[in-house]
């Protein structure tokens, strides 16, 4: 076992974790092994490639100088912290990756705290030292200060620092002396990261990840904490609720390169994948048949946001999706909770509605986008933060928000955040940018990214993480514009849209199919306006001045799924189908909406 090293790679989003892991795979590849073409071969999920971020933690193995290094690539976005929390149990050490310019960002602090609490040995990797205005020495000191503030032990504070550029394929002891390759980092992993401890006694292995194969079904992945595991041996599965299920292992695999290799047995300290066990969940413990002794449960931080998921009941219902009923949606959400520990699902007020709890808008949007691509049709409501009552006081989640922005935009950014109940804590120069740190209610973050990007001409660098619950901070101003709502069903005509351009901006193009109650644009005023876009130009044999002028329409505003979720008001839904994303009013008919908003007929 002294030839095994289990290492997790953790960092803030876009600091280079997956790029570095890729370079290590390429450097250590076995002769003759064919690697996939292109960059970021670990980001193999469609959404990961499109968004340019890691969403799911992944296990790969590289062989270097006779050592087997199990690498765990983790997500960097705060919304996917649940993925990081569960896989850190498999590691003995961590590579804490920081950008040589940005330094320790909010998610770096969050995952570093989790790693230090588990007693993992850190190696700090200062990446991207080739960037302009980089400050590697200051960043290294910032990381030391961060770890000191997180109550790291003396041994953890005595960490090794490696400098380099994963993009340019080198790592070395000094940032201003580029090396030839990344072997220095691999040598440090072997030297610094401890070998897995050999715990004598009956088998214990905690399931931290679930994989699936259409041939063998569900696959349990985890680390053998005690004893050894053999093929075809009978085992006891201790579930999170304490119940014990007897089962038998069919096949055992260890990680080898990008794939898996079938073996007869796995010893203490190694990572493995197991088939043949039924009805298991993340956090369950695989034990010796006669000694069912569970490991401590994996603790996952609670969700901070909820959304209503319901069936699609719009006039477009069933035209594009294969799975449209509440039973389909319920089964898919329950399946998602098996592997997505940070997600929770509850039955809503009606049989067709479900309340889904998650870490943030991106966390929930990834679930919705995945369902959409699998052929599901559904509607989702406005995201809501989770409110708690602590000692009789109404409390809401508060987040730490950091913004790096050019100085000329800093005043507008501070004004926008303070309007959303944000408190400015730190304002200091950082290279050619101004570094701002705020405390802000999670409610204030809904829609803030679009606002800040518009204010800063797209140059703001924004990051946030959940901090704690604080007493309710009062009302926060929401969307200050009304919407244009279609009053007829049919195809939108350019002639009708041209006549309405002075009333607002459109979200649809000419010839788009619309229906009564569908939101087709944003009004210039703070009230909603019903419009008829299906009115065509009447044909006649009379000519008039300017009749032959071409219709000139401004390009429509196209929202992403997350932007739609942030944009809608309480009385609106986002309709999601495999081919379309539409905005609509919950009550489609205008007279029903008026009746619902009148004081005498208000809906509770």
Q: What's the CA dihedral at 109, 146, 42, 92 to 10 degrees?
A: -100
Q: Is the dihedral of CA 451, 453, 456, 461 positive or negative?
A: positive
528 is in an annotated binding site: no
Q: What is residue 602's predicted lDDT score, i.e. its pLDDT?
A: 44
181 is in an annotated binding site: no
Q: What is residue 47's predicted lDDT score, i.e. its pLDDT?
A: 63
The residue ranking higher by pLDDT, 41 or 519, is: 519
Q: Which tens digits make up the pLDDT trace of 187-218?
A: 999 999 999 888 888 999 988 888 777 777 78
pLDDT tier, 52 (very low <50, low <70, confident <90, very high otherwise):
low
What SS3 state is found at 384? strand
Q: Which tens digits make up the pLDDT trace of 433-491?
A: 888 999 999 888 888 887 888 888 888 888 787 888 899 988 887 778 899 999 999 99
pLDDT at 524 over 50: yes
262 is in an annotated binding site: no
Q: What is residue 104's predicted lDDT score, i.e. its pLDDT?
A: 80
What integer is the mean pLDDT of 126-153?
88
| Across 82-96, 379-393, 484-498, 588-602, least confident range | 588-602
The residue ranking higher by pLDDT, 568 or 477, is: 568
Q: Quick one: which of 273, 339, 366, 355 has its CA closest to 561?
A: 366
19 is in an annotated binding site: yes
15 is in an annotated binding site: yes
Q: How many residues does the chain have?
A: 604
Q: What is residue 32's predicted lDDT score, i.e. its pLDDT?
A: 37
The residue ranking higher by pLDDT, 19 or 183, is: 183
Each domain of the chain, given as residue ranges in start order, spans: 4-192, 204-288, 388-471, 483-538+551-601
Mean pLDDT over each residue of the chain, to the nearest integer? 85
What integer is the mean pLDDT of 425-429?
90
Contacts of 382 (CB under 8 A, 6+ apart): 307, 565, 568, 569, 570, 572
Q: Which tens digits make up the pLDDT trace of 141-172?
A: 989 998 998 888 999 999 999 999 888 888 99
What integer is the mean pLDDT of 267-291?
88
Distance, in Å, from the CA atom of 279 to the CA atom of 294, rounded to the nearest integer, reads 16
129 is in an annotated binding site: yes
CATH of domain 4-192: 3.40.50.300
HEC assignment per residue over 89-151: HHCCEEEEEEECCCECCHHHHHHHHHHHHCCCEEEEEEECCCCCCCCHHHHHHHHHHHHHHCC
Paired residues of 204 in beta bridges = 226, 287
Q: Quick one: which of 510, 520, 535 has its CA closest to 486?
A: 520
pLDDT tier, 260 (very low <50, low <70, confident <90, very high otherwise):
confident
46 is in an annotated binding site: no
127 is in an annotated binding site: yes
128 is in an annotated binding site: yes
388-471 carries CATH number 3.40.50.720: no
The residue ranking higher by pLDDT, 453 or 258, is: 453
Q: What is residue 189's predicted lDDT score, i.e. its pLDDT?
A: 92
Q: What is the pTM of this model?
A: 0.77
CATH of 204-288, one of 1.10.3720.10, 2.60.20.30, 2.40.30.10, 3.20.190.10: 2.40.30.10
pLDDT at 513 over 80: yes
What integer is the mean pLDDT of 371-380?
94
What integer is the mean pLDDT of 1-7?
81
CATH of domain 483-538+551-601: 2.40.50.250
211 is in an annotated binding site: no
Paired residues of 583 in beta bridges = 519, 574
């Amino acid at each position: 076992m002294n030839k095994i090293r289990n290492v997790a790679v953790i960092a803030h989003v876009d600091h280079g974790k997956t790029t570095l892991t890729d370079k290590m795979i390429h450097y250590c590849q076995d002769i003759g092994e064919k690697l996939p073409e292109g960059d970021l071969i670990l980001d193999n999920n469609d959404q990961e490639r499109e968004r340019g971020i890691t969403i799911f933690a992944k296990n790969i193995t590289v062989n270097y100088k006779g050592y087997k290094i199990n690498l765990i690539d983790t997500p960097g976005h705060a919304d996917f912290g649940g993925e990081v929390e569960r896989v850190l149990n498999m590691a003995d050490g961590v590579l804490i990756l920081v950008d040589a310019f940005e330094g320790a960002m909010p998610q770096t602090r969050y995952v570093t705290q989790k790693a230090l609490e588990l007693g993992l040995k850190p190696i700090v990797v200062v990446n991207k030292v080739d960037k302009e205005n980089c400050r590697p020495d200051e960043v290294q000191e910032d990381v030391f200060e961060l770890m000191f503030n997180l109550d790291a032990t003396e041994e953890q504070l005595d960490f090794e620092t490696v400098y380099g550029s994963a993009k340019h394929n080198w790592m070395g002891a000094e940032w201003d002396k580029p090396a030839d390759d990344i072997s220095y980092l691999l040598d440090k992993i072997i030297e610094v990261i401890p070998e897995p401890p050999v715990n004598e006694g009956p088998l214990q292995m905690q399931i931290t990840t679930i994989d699936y194969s259409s041939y063998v079904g569900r696959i349990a992945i985890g680390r053998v904490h005690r004893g050894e595991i053999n093929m075809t041996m009978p085992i006891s599965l201790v579930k999170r609720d304490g119940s014990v299920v007897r089962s038998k292992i069919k096949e055992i695999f260890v990680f080898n390169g990008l794939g898996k290799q079938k073996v007869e047995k796995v010893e203490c300290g190694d990572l493995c994948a197991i088939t043949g066990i039924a009805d298991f969940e993340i956090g369950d413990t695989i034990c010796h048949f006669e000694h069912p002794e569970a490991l401590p449960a994996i603790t996952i931080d609670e969700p901070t946001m909820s959304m209503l998921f319901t069936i699609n009941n719009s006039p477009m219902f069933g035209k594009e999706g294969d799975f449209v009923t509440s039973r389909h949606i319920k089964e898919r959400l329950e399946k998602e909770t098996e592997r997505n520990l940070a997600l929770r699902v509850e039955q809503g007020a009606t049989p067709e509605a479900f309340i889904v709890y998650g870490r943030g808008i991106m966390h929930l949007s990834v679930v919705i986008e995945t369902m959409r691509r699998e052929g599901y049709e559904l509607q989702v409501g406005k995201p809501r933060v989770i409110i708690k009552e602590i000692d009789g006081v109404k409390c809401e989640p508060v987040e730490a928000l950091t913004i790096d922005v050019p100085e000329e935009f800093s005043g507008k950014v501070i004004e926008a955040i303070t309007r959303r109940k944000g408190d400015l804590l730190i304002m200091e120069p950082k290279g050619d940018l101004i570094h701002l740190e705020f405390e802000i209610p999670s409610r204030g973050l809904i829609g803030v990214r679009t606002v800040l990007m518009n204010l800063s001409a797209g140059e703001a660098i924004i990051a946030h993480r959940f901090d704690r619950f604080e007493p309710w901070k009062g009302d926060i101003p929401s969307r200050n514009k009304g919407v244009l709502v279609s009053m007829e069903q049919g195809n939108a005509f350019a002639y009708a849209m041209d006549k309405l351009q002075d009333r607002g901006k459109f979200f649809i193009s000419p010839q788009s199919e619309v229906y009564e109650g569908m939101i087709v644009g944003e009004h210039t005023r703070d009230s909603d306006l019903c419009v008829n876009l299906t009115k065509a130009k009447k044909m006649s044999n009379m000519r008039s001045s300017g009749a032959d002028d071409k219709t000139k329409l401004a390009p429509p505003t196209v929202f992403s799924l997350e932007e739609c979720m942030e944009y809608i008001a309480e009385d609106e839904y986002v309709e999601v189908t495999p081919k379309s994303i539409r905005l609509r009013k919950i009550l489609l008919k205008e007279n029903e909406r008026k009746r619902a908003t009148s004081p005498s007929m208000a809906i509770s």
